[in-house]
């Protein structure tokens, strides 16, 4: 109990040092962020840490407040460190993650197989079927029965 009282006194002492009029603002950070403090005064540097990192995931850190510009750096022993200067209002941080193992296969689909060319009607080869005996002929007269090629009149 003594310790808690001491901490309380300490907090009170700090608050009085900073002045009771110093307005503090909070950072609403969800999705894995850790903050170095619970609240910040305007102009203070805020450090948010993002430690739980999956190696196959891309993270995009953003601030929902348009007037706040965040800086993202990477520390091998900590993880991502997001820093910004506290404005005179609360700030909301967000994070978007994307698994890099998921590759978007949006390659062109295989072109449809070319339709086979329809066999051209046999009208130029000169081959004809004899109406009398059924033999296929290339000459003007049927080699089998001597009939004349039809349509030669
Ligand atoms: Zn014939």
Find the 151 Cα to ligand 1 centroid distance in Å.
15
Would you state the pLDDT for residue 150? 87
- 141 CA distance to ligand 1 centroid (A)? 8
Q: Sketch the domain layout of the chain as residue ranges.
A: 23-99, 125-153
Taking 50 as the pLDDT cut, the residues of the chain under it are 119-121
Distance 149 CA to ligand 1 centre (A): 9
What's the rounded Cα separation, in Å, for the pair 13 and 26? 21
Find how far residue 2's CA is from the centre of its chain.
Answer: 54
Q: What is the pTM of this model?
A: 0.51
pLDDT in tens, 9-51: 887 777 666 655 679 999 999 778 999 898 999 999 999 999 8
Distance, CA 130 to ligand 1 centroid (Å)?
Answer: 5
């Amino acid at each position: 109990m003594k310790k808690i009282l001491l901490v309380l006194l300490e907090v009170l002492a700090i608050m009085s040092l900073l002045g009771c009029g110093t307005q503090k603002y909070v950072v609403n950070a969800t999705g894995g962020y850790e903050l170095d403090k619970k609240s910040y005064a305007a102009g203070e540097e805020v450090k948010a840490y993002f430690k739980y990192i999956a190696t196959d995931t891309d993270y995009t850190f953003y601030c929902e407040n348009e007037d706040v510009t965040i800086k993202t750096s990477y520390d091998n022993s900590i993880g991502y460190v997001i820093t910004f200067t506290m404005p005179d209002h609360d700030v909301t941080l967000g994070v978007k993650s994307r698994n890099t193992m998921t590759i978007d296969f949006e390659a062109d689909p295989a072109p449809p197989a070319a339709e086979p060319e329809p066999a051209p009607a046999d009208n130029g080869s000169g081959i004809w079927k004899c109406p009398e005996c059924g033999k296929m002929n290339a000459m003007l007269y049927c080699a089998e029965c001597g009939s004349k090629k039809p349509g030669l009149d």
